[in-house]
Structure 1
């Protein structure tokens, strides 16, 4: 089968499209024939070597940790899936990934995909969708009527977080550049904020929950936007406990894990027409280097999909 692997850490020149053996599945695995994958920043951060101490791979490794496809085989102990089922997943990141014709994934990390999603849309949803759900629901414990601020609302996690928060009955404020203001409204934001038009404190009334997808200075400015007892949830930097106490709020950091439970929750929202990933770019597998460069530009709206087969 074809697979895009790296044999060493570095730039896009390390991405090699190769012929390798089809994975051998364990008893609790399913083998997915990959129809589509998608790009997430973690992909090129791993490729560059930024996470090599956090996730120690034995190279070479196949990259990519979003997948949609069909079940090609099931392990001996798997009872929930059958050959031919259309599925999607964010697989365990320590295993070989999804820039490949086939990938072995634990069955409890997989869910049936909604018929309302094509394979590209389904591949765009798992990692970013699980991240947004964990920030808002599992950690943020979002409630109807709360005011929620989503930073970088036009991005991969941000645009899904807006939709999930709206589905939960929240009032959503989202930030983006001037050119993406209309897009924020299309995703359902009640207030679209141009971060270049004055400080956040000048433009945003106090909120109950902040979803921080940017870290750094944006995170620092966000503490003052929270109501007492509110929460800042970051996917970038561990929030300061001292600053949280100073503002009488809470801080939390999210690094996602696979979750078929959340995939099923996301499917439910899709079925209710409350959630749909936005795809700005699609690339074939042999153009994976271009896809990585697009992601690294930081200018992608929504998601980048890799059409594998």
Structure 2
């Protein structure tokens, strides 16, 4: 397990500046696409807390946003997942105190976690699990929130929910949590889409009842001849027609990526299509504490051994060179589980 970093002393003075990694934009082959910089240490106000970052993870959204920055050329600190220690609180913050260990997924419209210190709204922060390492904790928030909202908020599933769930992109960070949560907290049968031997082994270990290959329509029809009830997809482009073949009439799909084109093929079966974006609540409903409560539950499930971390690759230290390596791995779209970068 990764050694924990000691909590700061109550009232200890913070440095005036901090280290951070900026992303001016563009491909990783471009010099300076990720750059070490120094910034003023931010001061929390309102419901913000200031967190000293111990580890972050890199998600597909980091790669997408880094690429989009090329259009504006304005450097930005990226990073969403984080685990760390509270070192200061805003005057309205009540959920945490200096010294508390926390984990969270941040929000896309604020400066990110690839820094020594980070400001975050306390309403989207959870107390970090106590039974796992720093890296194992950092792997979890964004994917756990996304998977939880997809299953229990969008699809409105519960402990008594039955039927068949097809998971496309099952070996990725979110897919791995979709499988675990569905098996732990519902009565669903889970069919995972995975093609490589290592991916098949991973999703089986996550708890999938059946595993099918990339061209899944025929295999799924054999396993669920009446059709699947639910589909989760993180690889939607090119799969809409296959989804239309295997889903039952009035089934439901939840997607976390762009469709890549028309979803009209689903109209004939009156299929419901849901979008899931875990940044919706932080951006549009900042007073909502749903994600705080969700992460509190996830931490407990980790501590109870019901869930396991999806960490597969741990790198360090937290600097531009290491983040470049992490981005390179995630950019392949072949990563199993999660890639984490620790500060020390």
TM-score between the two structures when normalised by the length of structure 1: 0.92
CA, structure 1 residues 107+197, in 2 after alignment: closer, same or farther (shift >3 Å)? closer
Task: Give the CA deviation at 1:189.
Answer: 0.5
Task: Give the CA deviation at 1:275.
Answer: 1.3
Distance in 1 between the 2:47 and 2:236 partners?
Answer: 37
* Contact 1:10–1:47 (8 Å) recurs in 2: yes
Q: 228, 231, 245: which one pairs with 1:210? A: 231
CA, structure 1 residues 240+95, in 2 after alignment: closer, same or farther (shift >3 Å)? same
Q: 85, 89, 109: which one pairs with 1:70? A: 85
Q: Does 1:21 align with 2:40?
A: yes
* Contact 1:200–1:221 (8 Å) recurs in 2: no
1:171 equivalent in structure 2: 189
Distance in 1 between the 2:69 and 2:253 partners?
Answer: 25
Deviations 1:239-269 (A, max 9, x none): 8564333112211111212422321232232
Deviates more, 1:168-177 or 1:257-266: 257-266
* Contact 1:201–1:225 (8 Å) recurs in 2: yes
2:241 equivalent in structure 1: 220
* Contact 2:302–2:309 (8 Å) recurs in 1: no
TM-score between the two structures when normalised by the length of structure 2: 0.83
Distance in 2 between the 1:166 and 1:153 partners?
Answer: 13
Q: Does 1:231 align with 2:259?
A: no
* Contact 1:212–1:219 (8 Å) recurs in 2: no
Distance in 2 between the 1:61 and 1:197 partners?
Answer: 40
1:37 equivalent in structure 2: 56
Task: Give the CA deviation at 1:145.
Answer: 2.2
SS at match of 2:118: strand
* Contact 2:240–2:263 (8 Å) recurs in 1: no
Deviates more, 1:30-39 or 1:117-126: 117-126
Deviates more, 1:165-174 or 1:240-249: 240-249
Q: Does 1:2 align with 2:19?
A: yes
1:300 equivalent in structure 2: 335
SS at match of 1:221: helix
Distance in 1 between the 2:70 and 2:86 partners?
Answer: 30
Deviations 1:189-242 (A, max 9, x none): 011112258745555412111001101112331122112221011111258564
Task: Give the CA deviation at 1:105.
Answer: 0.4
Task: Give the CA deviation at 1:49.
Answer: 0.8
Distance in 2 between the 1:231 and 1:134 partners?
Answer: 14
Q: 167, 192, 202: which one pairs with 1:183? A: 202
> Which stretches in structure 1 are left out of the alignment for 5+ residues?
none
* Contact 2:57–2:81 (8 Å) recurs in 1: yes
SS at match of 1:161: helix
* Contact 1:223–1:232 (8 Å) recurs in 2: no
Q: Does 1:101 align with 2:116?
A: yes
1:153 equivalent in structure 2: 170
Distance in 2 between the 1:237 and 1:184 partners?
Answer: 23
SS at match of 1:61: coil
Q: 238, 244, 256: which one pairs with 2:278? A: 256
SS at match of 1:244: helix
> Which stretches in structure 2 are left out of the alignment for 5+ residues?
1-17, 283-290
Aligned-pair Cα RMSD in Å: 2.1
